[in-house]
Structures are given as structure tokens and as C-alpha cells.
Amino acid sequence: MQRFKLRSFITALALLAICSVSFAQSVNLEEQKWIHGSADCSVNTDDPIQIVQYNSNTWILRQNKCTHFEAPFMYLFLGKEKALLTDTGATKEQEKFPLYKTVRRLIDNWDKEHNTSMELVVLHTHNHGDHKAADAQFNGKARTTVVGLQPEEVASFFYINNWPDENVTVDLGGRKLDIIPIPGHQESSVAVYDRNTQIMLTGDTFYPGRLYVADWASFRSSISKLVAFAADNPIKYILGNHIEMSVNDGKDYPMGSKYHPQEQKLPLYLTDLKELHEALNKIGDTPKRDIHDKFIIFPVR
Ligand SMILES: [Zn+2]
Ligand SMILES: [Zn+2]
């Protein structure tokens, strides 16, 4: 009996170990250090793209601030049949910013290991220059589709009939992602929710930085929509496209800065989203700049 119990216990442990391999979290995003530029970019030796493997089938990429001050983050999700990349960064030239080569290598390695031939879909979190600059590196490549930049093109690609009020689900093969239109920062803005990791990507709509709001009413309803979505879907991390806040509460780096020595952490949480939501409700219909510890509401019109 004793021995049987021990054996069952060992089997359970082994099963747990096997199960945890496929969903293992390889990095702790709370502690993750990101390349953050240099005071003198002429002596910067960081790679043009930092590659962080989040778990077995998810990568987070960050552009070097010395190649472009925007230093956007890009995310790569792999399913069994398709890969989804969000955004193509802030620099066009392959020599300075080899994004296609980097992503291709990750996918090719996966294909080799799993005997697959993955299709790549490149989606933009929105239509701003610092998130689409390297589109040309992907255009015309085999097994690669770059989704259009206008709201109608995004809607048509994902079969969204009622933009921006309808969310849709895409299946990468055993991995479902929700695409949620969230205009306000820009009219093509979308959030992406990965059901496997419970990560929500919010692009430039919500991140540790200056939340530039072009259309106040749309922005308010998009944030309400994300809060409502979160009521039905667990959120582990909310990840955006930039970091512009320092660790000193409410203090942002100057616009255009190529050196962020003490950046705020990348992940935000549902409590932060709720803080934004409440602040917007309090401000009401008239746009107003509002400084918080981790973000700044920053109307631009
Ligand atoms: Zn941006
Ligand atoms: Zn933007």
C-alpha cells in the first residue's frame, strides 16, 4: 500500500513535470531586463533586436533604442499551424534591423523541431510608423501574409463584420487568440488576447508611458470594452508596445530619448487598466492630461 502510494505520487509528479513543460514560463517578466539604449549610442554593443523567449511557443522582441528611440516591442505567438507576429518595428532597413531574418529563424527552428511548415501572419497593433517600418522585409515572402493597415483591411482579414464593436477569435492551431478592435490612440488599433498565456497585448493604447489619445470618445469606449472583456477572461499580464516611464512614479523620459537607464517594468495588470478606466470616467467628456505612477493620459487633439 505504502509502495503503491509512493508510486502514484511519483507518477503524478512526473505527469506534472511533463504537463508543465509545454506551458512552462521561461522568463519572469517581473524581473526581465530589457536593452534600453545608451547615453552614447556610438558605443552601444547591444543586438539590434533583443529576443526573449517567454515560454515554449511565445517570444517577445525589443528593438534597440540606439537604432530607433521608439524601441518598440513585438510579440510572436506560435500555434500548431500558424504563427502570428504583432508589428514590424520602427526601422525599415534589414541591415540595421533584421526583423524578418530573426522571426524566420525562430519559425524555421520550430518547423525543424516539430516537422511543420508554419504560415506567418503579420498583424499591426495599429497604423503608426514605429510599428510597420519593416513591413517591406515581409512582403512577398513565402508562407507570409502581412495584414493591411486600414480598419477596413483589418476587419476584412479577420472577418469582423461590425468594426469596432465586434471581437473575433483566430485559431493558430491549438492556440486561440481574440482580436479586439480598440480605436482611440489610432483608428486601426487592436488588442490581442492569448488564451494560452492569458497575456493581453494593448499596443500603444495602454503601456507604461504616454498614452496619446487622438479620439477621446473612442479611447474611452475602447478602455471600457477591455475592462468588460477582462471580467470574462483571466488576465495575467497586459503588455504594450513601449516603455516611456521610469521607475520613479509618474516620471517619464523625454520624448525622443535614446537612453532609458531605469525603466518601469513592461507588464501592467488588470488593476492598472481599472485605474485608467476610473481616471477616464472621472475626467469625463473633456480631454485632459492626467499623470499616474505607471502611465500618463495624454490627449493630442
Ligand atoms: Zn508606438
Ligand atoms: Zn502609436
Give tens-digit pLDDT for 190-201: 999 999 999 999
- Domain of residue 251 covers 36-299
Residue 21 has pLDDT above 50, yes or no: no
Whether 19 is covered by a domain: the verdict is no
Whether 20 is covered by a domain: the verdict is no
Whether 191 is covered by a domain: the verdict is yes
Residue 8 has pLDDT above 70, yes or no: no
Whether 21 is covered by a domain: the verdict is no
- Tell me if residue 169 falls in helix, strand or coil: strand
Whether 6 is covered by a domain: the verdict is no
Dihedral sign, CA of 32, 266, 63, 295? negative
Whether 14 is covered by a domain: the verdict is no
Distance 18 CA to ligand 2 centre (A): 40
Distance 212 CA to ligand 2 centre (A): 8
pLDDT digits (tens, 9 = 90+) for 70-79: 999 999 999 9
Distance 117 CA to ligand 1 centre (A): 31
Structural domains counted in the chain:
1
Cα(92)–Cα(49) distance, integer angstroms: 13
Q: Strand 168-171 and strand 176-181: pairing?
A: antiparallel
* Mean per-residue pLDDT, 96-109: 98
Distance 185 CA to ligand 2 centre (A): 7
Distance 110 CA to ligand 2 centre (A): 31
Cα(143)–Cα(193) distance, integer angstroms: 24
The CATH number that applies at residue 212 is: 3.60.15.10
Q: Say which ligand is closest to the CA of 189.
A: 2
pLDDT digits (tens, 9 = 90+) for 216-256: 999 999 999 999 999 999 999 999 999 999 999 999 999 99
Of 3-17, 150-164, 180-194, the least confident: 3-17
Residue-level pLDDT at 1: 42
Q: What angle do CA 280, 282, 286 make, to 5 degrees?
A: 70
Cα(210)–Cα(120) distance, integer angstroms: 31
